[in-house]
Amino acid sequence: MAAASPLLAYLPLLLLLAITFSPATATASPYPAVTPLHLQALRHQRARARSADAKYVTAAAAAGNTTAAKPFTAHYFPQELDHFTFTPNASMVFYQKYLVNDTFWRRPSGGGGGAGPLFVYTGNEGDIEWFATNTGFMFDIAPKFGALLVFIEHSLTLQLSLIKCCILAIDEQHRFYGESKPFGNDSYKSAETLGYLTSTQALADFAILIRSLKQNLSADDAPVVVFGGSYGGMLASWFRLKYPHVAIGAVASSAPILQFDYITPWSSFYDAVSQDYKSESLNCFSVIKETWDVVDERGASDKGLLELSKIFRACKTVKYAYSIRNWLWTAFTYTAMVDYPTPANFLENLPAYPVKEMCKIIDGFPANTDIMEKVFAAANLYYNYTGDLTCNPIEEEDDPHGLGGWQWQACTEMIMPMTVSNESMFPPSSFSYDERSDECLQSWGVRPRPHWITTEYGGYKIDKVLKRFGSNIIFSNGMRDPWSRGGVLKNISSSIIALVTQKGAHHLDFRSAVKGDPDWVIEQRRQEIEIIQGWIDQYHQDAAEV
């Protein structure tokens, strides 16, 4: 059987790149089901039964609020289902979740004057609270700016959390994600309901919510800066381009807005993952590269699958060889994405520089050790660094953070072609727009619009185009992050800035400042703060002149 190809795993992206293989379709389709950037890793977090209260307390501490159980409050905003038509269903209302923290917000002194800025996070492809608690940078800088923090969910419901601070950060949940489901439990039922899940509708949700919130807070003149990481970073940059009258600037971290059409080489993502491992150890790279044929060979029989299940400490005997492949593929890919310089628990609990640690494990075995033992031990660092798991739920699937809508987006507008080259440590594979279209038609009853994103938001010759009509965007990337290859890596103008670090990983700059942060991360965040301050100062200067 031909190996299933992981080409269509888009992050998100961030939030959003692992692939879930469906037993029902594995032999019929060369493509696996597409899952968002962060979904596969999060499935394993539920097994650890991590405390939600602990998560909130950690975030509260990052915000400087050590007494609050949660660093934000949740709210729900009535959104219209369809912002772009006047059909009978268009005015149907659903409730979008958003989170607010006003701890340090400088409230308006009267007549809307003197209010601190709103810092709004444009929600990703999942539960907004998860992203809010992993975006400590906004909490860290809120006191300096007197900002209101808002996190908006990209879904049917919107939660608003108010943070005590000088910054307004909105955590808005993207429609159809988390709790923001326009049709409740029937939201994913068919294309009839999912047709309202688009990036353009989500951006309109953000604009309407932000304007309403400012009016309700008597802060009409307060400047708004949007933040986003991964897919949320794409939304933040697009929001600034589409709604410049709503947001004065955008900070887009690890936003692969050029990962479409033929702008970025299709093999770049997996070439970058491979380079991360090769840079640590050529032996490590070679061992992983040899793994896939061995998995297929042993997994071709029931006896081999039983042997693999024992080696990989599966909770249940695995039924398909590609389940082991996917488990390993996910571990190596996500570890490259979150190759942070300090310990972190964004996707899983991991040590500092986990790629280096994985390669140390592989290189530490005697040369004649079974290759499966080597790669299991390395992948186990990703899934079970803390030692909490007694077995690995390799073929169990769940969606603890409400990311399921990404498969629809990856079959409609978010078509990011990916291939695996011969130089990669993964098995070579190709991409076909026609095959992808047929697969999506079979799965969802719709065909993708593969070139819609570049038509709607641009991307080709972006340096020349945005130089003349765009402004006030920070594109930050770390080159250890494979998604960086689809990002903006050079300054476009004096106000559209690319901040690139060679050792940075997936939206590392958005994480809370911690002891042990290297100087280059500290400097990257310092530059971001300085640029944001410049946008706000210019905004107030322009307002004063008027």
Give tens-digit pLDDT for 493-504.
Answer: 999 999 999 999
Query: Residue 125: pLDDT band by 50, 70, 90 thresholds?
Result: low
Active-site annotation holder among 506, 507, 509, 512? 506
Cβ atoms of 247 and 239 within 8 Å: the answer is yes
- Omega before residue 13 within 30° of 0, cis: yes
Which residue, among 481, 413, 35, 477, has the nearest Cα to 268 in the 3D structure?
481
Cβ atoms of 345 and 427 within 8 Å: the answer is no
**pLDDT recorded at residue 184:** 57
- pTM reported for the whole predicted model: 0.84
- Rounded Cα distance, 515 and 39, in Å: 29
Mean pLDDT of 89-114: 85
**Sign for the pseudo-dihedral over CA of 121, 127, 129, 134:** negative
**pLDDT recorded at residue 408:** 83
- What CATH code is assigned to 267-383? 1.20.120.980
Tell me: the pLDDT tens digits for 385-406?
A: 999 999 999 997 654 444 456 7
Burial zone of 241 (CB within 10 Å; 0-12 exposed, 13-18 middle, 19+ buried): buried
Active-site annotation holder among 155, 230, 254, 484? 230
**pLDDT recorded at residue 45:** 37
Query: Residue 146: pLDDT band by 50, 70, 90 thresholds?
Result: very high
Catalytic, 154? Answer no
Tell me: the pLDDT tens digits for 201-216?
A: 999 999 999 999 999 9
Catalytic, 463? Answer no
- With 90 as the cut, is the pLDDT of residue 429 above it? yes
- Rounded Cα distance, 265 and 263, in Å: 7
How big is the CA angle at 518 (ends 512 and 521), to the nearest 5 degrees? 55
Residue ranges per domain, the chain? Answer: 69-261+472-543, 267-383
Tell me: the pLDDT tens digits for 303-335?
A: 999 999 999 999 999 999 999 999 999 999 999
Catalytic, 286? Answer no
Q: Does the fold of domain 267-383 match that of domain 69-261+472-543?
A: no
**Lowest-pLDDT range of 41-55, 168-182, 336-350:** 41-55
Neighbours of 110 (CB within 10 A): 8
Tell me: the pLDDT tens digits for 491-532?
A: 999 999 999 999 999 999 999 999 999 999 999 999 999 999
Q: What phi-psi label fits residue 166: left (phi over 0), alpha (psi between -120 and 50 degrees) or beta? A: alpha
- Give the list of residues 6+ apart from residue 264 with CB closer than 8 angstroms, or none: 256, 258, 485, 486
Which class does domain 69-261+472-543 fall in?
alpha beta
- Rounded Cα distance, 489 and 257, in Å: 11
| Run of H or E including 16 | none
Active-site annotation holder among 127, 481, 484, 509? 481
